[in-house]
Amino acid sequence: MNMPNPAAQPRNPLHGLTLEMIVTQLADHYGWHELGTLIPIRCFTHEPSVGSSLKFLRRTPWARDKVESLYLFMLREQKRNGTTHGPNTQD
């Protein structure tokens, strides 16, 4: 039985992105304060940094899911507003 190649995900908008890239883009777009309001987890609300966020998100699947969902929402909003900038877009 042929299994699909897991590396071939041309329609997955998260494919090829690292968690660090996602967190950095969210923090740049929303700011830490707004990010902590949208996803109220301690790594975003108390002395936030990319490093502390990555440590927590890598160990906490439900929180990572929320961050990835917010990232996809941000991409949809940017596309809708015509302001897409990022690694998966052509500037």
One of 1.10.720.30, 3.40.50.300, 1.50.10.10, 3.30.450.20 is the CATH number of 19-80, namely: 1.10.720.30
Q: What is the pLDDT of residues 13-62, one digit of tens each?
A: 888 889 999 999 999 999 999 999 999 999 999 999 999 999 999 999 99
Helix, strand and coil content of the chain, in percent to the nearest 5, comes to: 60, 0, 40
In this prediction the pTM is: 0.77
Exposed, middle or buried by CB within 10 Å (0-12, 13-18, 19+), for 44?
A: buried
Domain residue extents for the chain: 19-80
Q: Encoding tokens for residue 27?
A: 């923090």
- The sign of the CA dihedral 54, 24, 44, 69 is negative
Q: Are 25 and 50 in contact (CB under 8 A)?
A: no
